[in-house]
Amino acid sequence: MQNQTRIIIENVSPQLDGGAFFIKRIVGQKVTVTANVFSDGHDVVACSVKFKHEKEKKWQEIRMVETGNDEWIAEFKVDKQGFYSYFVEGWVDYALNWQHGTQRKIEDNQYVKSELLEGAEYCEAILKEVSKEEKAYLTSAIKAFQDEKQYDKAVAIALSAELHHIFKQYPTRTLANASAELKVYVDRKKALFSTWYEFFPRSASQEKGKHGTFKDCEKLLPRVAAMGFDTLYFPPIHPIGEVNRKGKNNATNAQPGDVGSPWGIGSKHGGHKSTHPELGTIDDFKSLVKTAKKLNIEVAMDYALQAAPDHPYVKDFPQWFKWRPDGTVQYAENPPKKYQDIQPIYFESGDWKNLWKELLDVALFWVEECDIRVFRVDNPHTKPFYFWGWLIAEVKKKHPDVLFLAEAFTRPKIMHELAKQGFTQSYTYFTWRNTKAELIEYVEELSKTEQKEFFRPNFWPNTPDILPYALQSGHESVYLHKYFLAATLSSSIGIYGPVYEYMISEAMPGKEEYHNSEKYEFYNWDWSVQNKLITVISRLNKIRHEQPSLQQTNNIQFCATDNDQVLAYYKYDDDKLDETLMICSIDPYYAKQAWVQLPLQALGVHPGQPIKVIELITGNSYIWDKEWNFVELNPALPFHLFKIVK
C-alpha cells in the first residue's frame, strides 16, 4: 500500500483481537493507551490519542508522552455510558524539529539567518489557529526572524520556551498517520462493583411446609439490605414443567408434591414471560422489584434459554427444538448428568431469525415491564457466541443500564469469548482456588494480563450447583476466609445465601453437589438466625461500600510473607486516595504468625517513615515504621483488613 507519511504506528494498546472487540470501562474510569510511534531518521516525532463518545461529533485529544524506546503513553477519562472510539495519530513535527535543529546550530555558534526565515514560515502557518495574545507574539517573532537588524532578538525567540509551547500546542501535522479506530464500552458503576445474594423465592416462606411467594420475598428485603447486599438474584421464577419433572436430589421420577427444578421452564401456566402461579403474579413481582429499589437493591433475574417438555414453545414452535428420527425430542445432557425435564433450544433451526427475535423479546419484556436491569444468564456457553453478541447489543441499544452475568464454568477461551461478546461480568474459577499459590496466580492472571480489559470477574464461593470440597468440612474458619478473599480480591462477589450462612455442607457422595439440593425442593429457612458468619459478612460488605480501593479488581499488588499459609495484598483506587492492606490465613485449624513486607515504593514512603494502619473489622489501629511487620491470625477471625493512613 502506498502511503507518503513517514510515521509508523505499531502495537496500539489496549485492543482486543486487532480491534474486533471492544474493551470495557465504567463511568469515571480512565483508558491508558500505549503505542510504538517512530519515523525514519532523527526528526522530532509527536503523537496523540484522539477520542470521542458515540453521540459526539468532535474528537477530543490528549498528547502522548514518550517513555523511551519509541514507546508512547497517554490516558483519557470516560464520563458517559455507551461506546467511545479512540485512535492514535502521529506526525513528524517539522516546527519543533526546526527549533531543535536551530538550537543545536546556535549552540555551535553558527549563523542561522536562513533558519530564522524558515521559522517565520512555521509561525505564519498557524496564525489562524492561535489565540489573540499568541498571534501578537508570533507576529512579533515573524518580524524579528525576517529583520536582520533584530538578529539577537530573533535568536532569543527561536530558543524560547514560549515558542516551543505554541508550536507544540498547534502542530501542523503534515503527512500525519493514524491507527485504526478502536472502541471502549462504558457501563454504569454496578458493572464493576456489586454484591450478590441468591436465594430461592419458593423457600422464602417463614411458615413450615408452605411454598414461598413474592410477598414473602418482599418481607426479607430489609434483612438482605442490612447485610450489605445490593443485588438479589433469583433462580428462574417461571412456571415449572410437569412433564418429566425431577424429584428430590435429581431423581428421575417425581413423587406427588415434588416441586421440580426451576430451570425446567414452562408448563400449561405459561413460559418465559410468565411467573410461577405459586410465587404470585407479575404485579406481585413488580411490587417486589420496586420495594427492593427503595432499599438500594436490584433484583437480578435468571435468563435461562431452555424449555420443559410442556413449555408452550414446544407445541407452538416445534421447529425451535431438535427432534430425533424416532420422533422423540433430544433432552439436555452433560454426561453423566441427564436433564430429562429440559429440552435445549435448537439454535441451528431454519427458523432462527424468529427464534432470536422471540428470545430478545423475552429479555425486553422483563426490562420494560418489570424494570429488571440485571440478568444472570444460565449456561451461555451452550448457545452460539454470535447470538449473545447480537442480543446483548440489541438490549443495550435501548437500555444501556442492563447488565449480564455469564454463568459459565467452562474452558478459559470460551469464558473469554463470552466476555468479549458483551457479557458484563463472569463467574470464575475462584470457587476452586484454595492455596496461596493458586490464588496469587489466578488473580494476577485476571488483573495483570489482557483479561483485565474485558473480563470482569464475579467471585462466588458456592452456588446451588456447586458445593466445593473446601466447604464440605463445614468448618466456620473456611467459610470466613473464603468470603473474605472473595470480598477483597474481587470487586464483584456473590453467595448462595442461607446455605452459605448456615454452613450447609452435606454433599452427594464423592461429588461437589449439595445433598437434598434446594434445586429440587423448597426449604423453610429460619431467617431470624444471627450467627458469627452473618455478622462478619455484613461487616465486610459495609466496608466494601465505604472503601473505593475494594470497589475495583485490577489495582492490586501481592506482598511477600514468610508463611505459605498467609496471603497478603495491597489495593488502591485509581487516584490512590484510598489504600487498603489485606492479610489472610488460609489454615482453618491453627493460629498463624507471619512477617509481612509492606510495598513501600507503591505506598510512596521510605523505610523508617511511620504509617498508621486501622483494622476496619475490629477498629484497632497500629503505627508501623518498618518494611517488615509482624501479624498473628487466629482461625476464629483469620484475617486483617487494614486501611492505610499516611
Q: Which residues are catalytic?
A: 378, 407
Count, residues in the chain: 646
Q: Are 95 and 66 in contact (CB under 8 A)?
A: no
Q: The dihedral of CA 463, 469, 470, 472: what is its sign?
A: positive
What does the buried/exposed string (b/e) look like for 372-406 if buried means 16 or more CB atoms within 10 Å of the residue's CB?
bbbbbbbbbbbbeeebbbebbeebbeeebebbbbb
Please list the residues that pair with 91 across neighbouring strands.
46
Angstrom CA distances, 76 to 209, 451, 545, stand at 57, 20, 26
Count CB neighbours of 473 within 10 A: 14
Cis peptide before 14 (omega within 30 of 0): yes
Q: How many Å apart are CA 47 and CA 70, to the nearest integer?
A: 11
Q: Which residues are bridge partners to 49 per DSSP?
A: 62, 88
The CA–CA distances, whole Å, from 566 to 446, 551, 597, 626 equal 21, 23, 12, 19
Distance of CA 167 to the CA centre of its chain: 41
Q: What is the per-residue DSSP string for 436-475?
A: HHHHHHHHHHHHHSGGGGT--EEE-S-BTTB--GGGTT--
* Gap between the Cα atoms of 486 and 553, Å rounded: 11
CA distance 32 to 22: 14
All cell numbers assigned to 612: 498508621
What is the C-alpha to C-alpha distance for residues 234 and 375, in angstroms, rounded to an integer? 10
Neighbours of 110 (CB within 10 A): 10
The continuous run of DSSP H or E covering 577 comes out as none
SS3 6: coil
Burial of 523 (0-12, 13-18, 19+ CB in 10 A): middle
The position carrying cell 487466629 is 634
Q: Are strands 65-68 and 71-77 parallel, antiparallel or unpaired?
A: antiparallel
Residue 172 is placed in which grid cell? 501542523
Beta strands in 533-578 (DSSP E): 556-559, 566-572
Query: Which three cell numbers, joined as nine digits, stand for 157?
Result: 525567540
Crossing angle of helices 132-146/151-158, nearest 10°?
130
In the structure grid, which three cell numbers stand for residue 194, read together?
A: 456489586
Give the whole-angstrom CA distance, residue 357 versus residue 374.
Answer: 20
For the record, the C-alpha cell of 295 comes out as 432499599
| Cis-peptide into 336, omega within 30 deg | yes
3-class SS letters over 216-283: HHHHHHHHHHHCCCCEEECCCCCCECCCCCCCHHHCCCCCCCCCCCCCCECECCECCCCCCCCCCCHH
- Residue partners of 204: CB distance under 8 A and separation at least 6: 212, 213, 216, 217, 219, 220
